[in-house]
Structure 1
């Protein structure tokens, strides 16, 4: 069986799809599946540890890159059994342009491109509210969605939003993410509290509101780990709020360095407008790090132990949530030191293959 995984981002870039595609590709290769990854970027990003081809399409040119990606699909997926996309727009539009006939087409949704772009331009609605207020978006997106033979959602939360927004979705189901492996360690609170954010600096992460909330909680020091288009304005806001002594910016971390970060901090905060399936929250939990997470999330209840889910949309919401988490830190840390249910990438790969074999 030949499978082409079509994604918009791939390591060393950070983000859920990047992690997912590499992990799934590795598992499929171990099962003697012919795997090719197609992504945007530059060939020099290629990491030698990959045992499968990674094809890079230049990212420049908003529309032109779709045509280049479509051409790459025709070159590398013409004889494939399956093309598996990981973005409605970044991969879905080029797949539609490619006019490929043979491959069965699958899509995995763990985010929403249109909503994320809306938040990048200052929008403040969560995913569900955005769909309810933007009926015209559905007509544009549905045409792309209908080309797929099946859609996998990472959570029932997003599946229900799409079922309400689109009355004629293709065949679809929920296929949950793997749970990272790790050994939870009981954390003890430092003075001042060491607060951590780890992820992309983009609009829907709601980081400007987090900085404004920090002004009202003096006993906390925040470290923002990652990168993204919002970094420069976030640094400027940090200066404007006179928080330079309490806020630190660090570049992206991977592997053992990331694990060390989780051990050194007291609390991970994800104040996003919506977090459909936050992989970093699970990574933190497998290290025993408590998590303060927006209540607009799709994580299943069995994965929420050691996490506090609260409204985190405004500075006042975040301030209240931080005070609450600090006051209950001992019990929260104790819950976070317990292991999460086991679900491996091998399980995820086998579920994919079982489904693929019914349609190929």
Structure 2
């Protein structure tokens, strides 16, 4: 099948959706699919078109450059001009989704949608989420399948958008990371908090807990991994608390998977105090390397804790409580089991099966229509020729 994935961002950017596409795309190609990615480039600095690991990536402009709204009329134009067997929308929370969904519906193109929902640092954006969901519902309801990355996400959007739960399929993100390099050892005093540098991700809570944690565990150190608009605030907090020698903030490019694996494998504890995560790739990566994990008891994080994969702490815990929990985890030096976690091969296979099911449904539906003698069933209609 010829699949188009549509997302606001993809490689070389880092993040949950970016990692998802980077991992499942090539695996779908290995399974015989042709995969294109349509995405945006607000900077205007990336190639308009390139091939990455067997995938054709097309980028169109988006505005504004410094905000995560991704208003991109080029998404609509590209979808209307192209021919694919199926469109897979990756993520719903920018303008890319409604623009692309409208183009698919007007072009009578079948599509599926994975929500990949996340939090946001803007109180205004959070306040209008209900309205956003209501406006998206007529478009989302036209999807051939809806995909949640966790049971929490599927149930949440089923209720929020009034779409029957049976319309949803749950396909978790993968957890695969390269094995740690020879010689990498666990540092029992090192804590890692990884994810985009946004306030809702909760890195500031880990930093705020450090003075109390150092009182309990004198050699404790925190390494925050990521990039994003909240970096300046985090660095100012580090300076205000006098933690320059104990807290480091740096990013690791998404292409340097081995470097990230080695860092995670060396951690005595991984923490993520995010306000909202559907199925966090960062946590799954830490678990795949058998590192103990401490999270907020909320959303998909709480679901992971309920399965015994990590420990959860109340989302309103103050710095003293957080420090006590981190100290307990560091001192326990827990041996994390080799969990049977979902991997990216599982994810790609499940997606391939969804694509096949949708395509077979289309063929079955069209076979009921009267076909002229000598007519050939095809999707999309061949009159929609691709325009380069």
TM-score (norm 1): 0.84
Q: Which residue of 1 aligns with 2:76?
A: 70
- The structural deviation recorded for 1:6 is 0.5
SS at match of 1:140: helix
Q: Which residue of 2 aligns with 1:347?
A: 346
- The structural deviation recorded for 1:207 is 1.9
Return closer, same or farther for 1:302/1:319 CA change in 2, 3 Å cut-off.
Answer: closer
Q: Which residue of 2 aligns with 1:255?
A: 257
Q: Which residue of 2 aligns with 1:359?
A: 358
Residue 284 (structure 1) aligned to one of 258, 283, 286: 286
Return closer, same or farther for 1:305/1:89 CA change in 2, 3 Å cut-off.
Answer: closer
Q: Which has the larger radius of gyration?
A: 2
> Cα deviations across residues 248-300 of structure 1 (Å, max 9, x unaligned)?
11122431111111133211110111222111112112222221122214265
Q: Which residue of 2 aligns with 1:106?
A: 112
- Which segment is superposed worse, 284-293 or 314-323? 314-323
- The structural deviation recorded for 1:46 is 7.5
Q: Which residue of 2 aligns with 1:87?
A: 91
SS at match of 2:209: helix
Q: Distance in 2 between matches of 1:298 and 1:311?
A: 14
Confirm or deny that 1:180 pairs with 2:176: yes
Confirm or deny that 1:311 pairs with 2:314: yes
Confirm or deny that 1:58 pairs with 2:31: no
Paired positions, count = 340
Q: What is the correspondence of 1:162-173 to structure 2 with a 5 Å cutoff? A: 162-168=157-163, 171-173=167-169
Return closer, same or farther for 1:34/1:159 CA change in 2, 3 Å cut-off.
Answer: same
Q: Which residue of 2 aligns with 1:33?
A: 33
Return closer, same or farther for 1:304/1:13 CA change in 2, 3 Å cut-off.
Answer: farther
Q: Which residue of 2 aligns with 1:198?
A: 194
Return closer, same or farther for 1:169/1:138 CA change in 2, 3 Å cut-off.
Answer: farther
- The structural deviation recorded for 1:304 is 5.4
SS at match of 1:282: helix
CA contact (8 A) 2:268 2:330 kept: no
Gaps of 5+ in 2: 360-388
TM-score (norm 2): 0.78
Q: Distance in 2 between matches of 1:135 and 1:282?
A: 29
- The structural deviation recorded for 1:341 is 0.7
CA contact (8 A) 2:2 2:84 kept: yes
Gaps of 5+ in 1: none
Return closer, same or farther for 1:64/1:179 CA change in 2, 3 Å cut-off.
Answer: closer
Q: Distance in 2 between matches of 1:263 and 1:47?
A: 33
Return closer, same or farther for 1:34/1:135 CA change in 2, 3 Å cut-off.
Answer: closer
